[in-house]
């Protein structure tokens, strides 16, 4: 960085010597102009507007060096001033210090000493600029974070309200995020994220633009460009930057510079525009009022039926052709990815219901991707959702084979048990259950005994006795009332069955359990 300096002296020879004989460029200082008195110096300072160092003589006509220092102290306090004087008087130095003069040197000045003094001032200016920039960036970043998290506080008010900071916001997403990170270790994943941020920062720095980026969620990096002087960022400029093809980034800019306090309303618009990315091959789309679909796409009812039929009937070759056709339909009709997920979820639900209706209880345990919530920012393309669809399809094919290997007789008995457990408290009969599973009563009785080891009546009575034991301990009902509640029509028969299974009558069982509880 080059620092601008003004030389002021009423002796032309001294001015010429200071300007031409000292190698100011070696300390990154440029003599931008000269003045022969304080009045002319003030005009030059106003004219240039970027002067940072002034070297002035103290004794001059019209406006002297101390008067010039006083003017700078009150109107341009950031300018560093060095006074040169041939008068070795303490009062001048004392007054100069009060006016913020950085150094007071006596003529004849030693060139090396003067250069060293100016060099120190340049370093001081650089340090102050760096600190001011860091403070500005910290306040800006805090303000950005506050806007995104929608936390109300005092950070924004710390920014200069008379000169509101503006930012140019855009978000970036990796085109095939899940495919990229799927096999990355924790360390490699961190490198991937850091590389993403650094790539954007470096590309913008090449154009002299400062930026702040942070991940608002997985696969969404928010970048806010801030350029106090030029505000030259635009969507066209973003598209012209050279991006690494391996990174495969997609961009959504707002394409307007906005006050930082408006970020909390603009950010949701950027995220909402993500759903339009699958519709285009462009790597950058701009948020605008025209960002919409012309029409709502029709639901693919017929294709859905064909896919389900092919899956259920294990027509493997036809299934893959139909699935490809289904996803081509999504793409050509501009389905939002959320809509694709909804169609696929409905399709797999229908398949599950089909197998459940056949008695396949294991269907409840099928772990489909489309049964769970799918983040479309992670699976952010038709291709990635199609990959999940095929993974779910492979689960179905595996489970189909397992279901077929299950003994159909076991399925019948499982279905019968479900019915018995629900209705054992009624006057349930063998023929009633046999009708439910659509086999003859004789075949059912034989099959039930073979699969469970007990006959139908023994199985039902055991269920009734178990329930009666609970009611005897946990309720004040009479034994006769409990007998009816668990399905026994005759009290004496209930007592006999209960004693057979427990070795004691219902009344004695209740007393026995009561004594146990007292102990």
Question: Do the beta carbons of residue 444 and residue 458 sit within 8 Å?
Answer: no
Phi, psi of 485 (to 5 degrees): -60, -35
Which residue stretches of the chain have pLDDT < 70? Answer: 87-94, 96-100, 150-164, 228-232, 242-246, 289-290, 357-365, 401-408, 517-519
- The rounded distance, in Å, linking the Cα atoms of 68 and 84 is 13
pLDDT at 135: 79
β-strand partners of 85: 106
The continuous run of DSSP H or E covering 302 comes out as: helix 301-312
- DSSP string spanning 182-241? TT--HHHHHHHHHHHHHHHHHHHHTTT-EEEEEEEETTEEEEEEE-TTT----HHHHHHS
Tens digit of each residue's pLDDT (9 = 90 or more) over 123-155:
988 888 888 777 777 777 777 777 777 533 444
Nearest CA-CA partner of 380 in 180, 148, 187, 194: 180
pLDDT at 374: 92
pLDDT at 156: 43
The continuous run of DSSP H or E covering 481 comes out as: helix 479-485
- The rounded distance, in Å, linking the Cα atoms of 358 and 415 is 10
Q: Is 477 exposed, middle or buried (0-12, 13-18, 19+ CB in 10 A)?
A: middle
The answer for residues whose C-beta is within 8 angstroms of residue 157's C-beta and 6 or more apart is none
- The rounded distance, in Å, linking the Cα atoms of 431 and 428 is 9
- The rounded distance, in Å, linking the Cα atoms of 269 and 473 is 63
Question: Do the beta carbons of residue 461 and residue 497 sit within 8 Å?
Answer: yes
- The rounded distance, in Å, linking the Cα atoms of 313 and 322 is 14
Beta strands in 77-146 (DSSP E): 80-85, 103-106
HSE-CB of 95 using CA atoms within 13 angstroms = 14
pLDDT at 229: 59
Q: What is the 3-state secondary structure (H, E, C) of 26-73?
A: HHCEEEEEEECCHHHHHHHHHHHCCCCEEEEECCCCCCCHHHHHHHHH
The answer for residues whose C-beta is within 8 angstroms of residue 498's C-beta and 6 or more apart is 465, 468, 505, 506, 509
CA 388 → CA 248, 303, 370, 419, distances in Å? 21, 18, 8, 37
Q: Quick one: DSSP state of residue 297?
A: P
- DSSP string spanning 376-435? TTTS-SHHHHHHHHHHHHHHHHHHHHHHHHS-HHHHHHHHHHHHHHHHTTS---HHHHHH
281-310 burial: b if 16+ Cβ within 10 Å, else e: eebbbbbeeeeeeeeeeeebeebbebbbeb
- The rounded distance, in Å, linking the Cα atoms of 10 and 57 is 8
β-strand partners of 78: none
pLDDT at 294: 79
Helix (H, G, I), strand (E, B) or coil at 296: coil
Instruction: Give the end-to-end CA distance of the chain in Å, rounded to a whole number.
Output: 91
CA 337 → CA 275, 279, 331, 341, 380, distances in Å? 7, 10, 10, 6, 7
- The rounded distance, in Å, linking the Cα atoms of 365 and 406 is 16
Tens digit of each residue's pLDDT (9 = 90 or more) over 83-114:
888 766 556 666 766 666 777 787 788 888 89
β-strand partners of 284: 251
- The rounded distance, in Å, linking the Cα atoms of 196 and 250 is 12
pLDDT at 58: 85
The answer for residues whose C-beta is within 8 angstroms of residue 482's C-beta and 6 or more apart is 468, 471, 472, 475, 506
Q: What is the CA radius of gyration of the chain?
A: 43
């Amino acid at each position: 960085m080059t620092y601008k300096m003004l030389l002021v002296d009423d002796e032309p020879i001294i001015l010429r010597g200071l300007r031409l004989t000292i190698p100011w460029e070696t300390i990154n200082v440029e003599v931008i102009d000269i003045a022969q008195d304080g009045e002319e110096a003030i005009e030059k300072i106003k004219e240039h507007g970027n002067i940072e160092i002034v070297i002035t003589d103290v004794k001059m006509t019209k406006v002297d060096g101390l008067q010039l220092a006083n003017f700078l102290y009150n109107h341009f306090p950031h300018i560093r001033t060095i006074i040169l004087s041939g008068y070795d008087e303490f009062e001048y130095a004392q007054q100069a210090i009060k006016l913020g003069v950085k150094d007071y040197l006596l003529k004849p000045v030693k060139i090396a000493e003067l250069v060293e003094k100016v060099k120190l001032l340049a370093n001081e200016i650089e340090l102050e600029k760096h600190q001011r920039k860091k403070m500005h960036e910290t306040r800006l970043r805090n303000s950005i974070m506050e806007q995104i998290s929608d936390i109300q506080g005092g950070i924004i008010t710390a920014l200069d309200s008379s000169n509101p900071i503006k930012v140019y916001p855009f978000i970036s997403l990796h085109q095939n995020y899940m495919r990229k990170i799927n096999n990355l270790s924790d360390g490699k994943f961190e490198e991937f994220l850091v590389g993403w941020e650094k790539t954007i920062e470096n590309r913008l720095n090449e154009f002299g633009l400062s930026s702040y980026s942070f991940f608002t969620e997985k696969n969404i990096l928010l970048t806010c460009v801030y350029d106090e002087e030029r505000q030259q960022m635009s969507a066209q400029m973003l598209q012209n930057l050279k991006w690494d093809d391996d990174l495969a980034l997609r961009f959504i800019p707002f394409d307007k510079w906005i006050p930082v306090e408006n970020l909390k309303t603009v950010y949701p618009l950027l995220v909402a525009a993500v759903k339009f990315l699958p519709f285009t091959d462009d790597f950058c789309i701009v948020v605008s009022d025209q960002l919409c679909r012309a029409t709502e796409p029709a639901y693919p009812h017929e294709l859905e039926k064909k896919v389900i039929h092919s899956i259920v009937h294990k027509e493997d070759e036809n299934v893959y052709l139909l699935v490809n056709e289904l996803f081509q339909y999504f793409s050509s009709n501009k389905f939002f990815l959320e809509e694709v997920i909804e169609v696929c979820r409905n399709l797999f639900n229908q398949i599950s219901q089909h197998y459940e209706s056949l008695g396949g209880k294991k269907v409840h345990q099928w772990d489909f991707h489309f049964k769970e919530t799918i983040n479309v920012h992670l699976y952010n393309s038709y291709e990635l959702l199609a990959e999940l669809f095929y993974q779910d399809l492979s689960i179905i094919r595996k489970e189909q084979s397992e279901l077929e290997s299950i003994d159909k007789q076991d399925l019948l008995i499982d279905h019968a048990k479900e019915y018995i457990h629900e209705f054992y408290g009624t006057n349930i009969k063998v023929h009633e259950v046999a009708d439910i599973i659509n086999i003859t009563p004789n075949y059912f009785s034989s099959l039930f005994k073979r699969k469970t080891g007990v006959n139908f009546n023994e199985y039902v009575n055991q269920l009734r006795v178990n329930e009666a034991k609970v009611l005897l301990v946990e309720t004040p009902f009479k034994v006769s009332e409990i007998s009816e509640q668990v399905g026994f029509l005759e009290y004496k028969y209930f007592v006999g069955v209960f004693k057979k299974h427990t070795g004691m009558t219902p009344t004695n069982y209740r007393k026995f359990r009561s004594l146990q509880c007292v102990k």
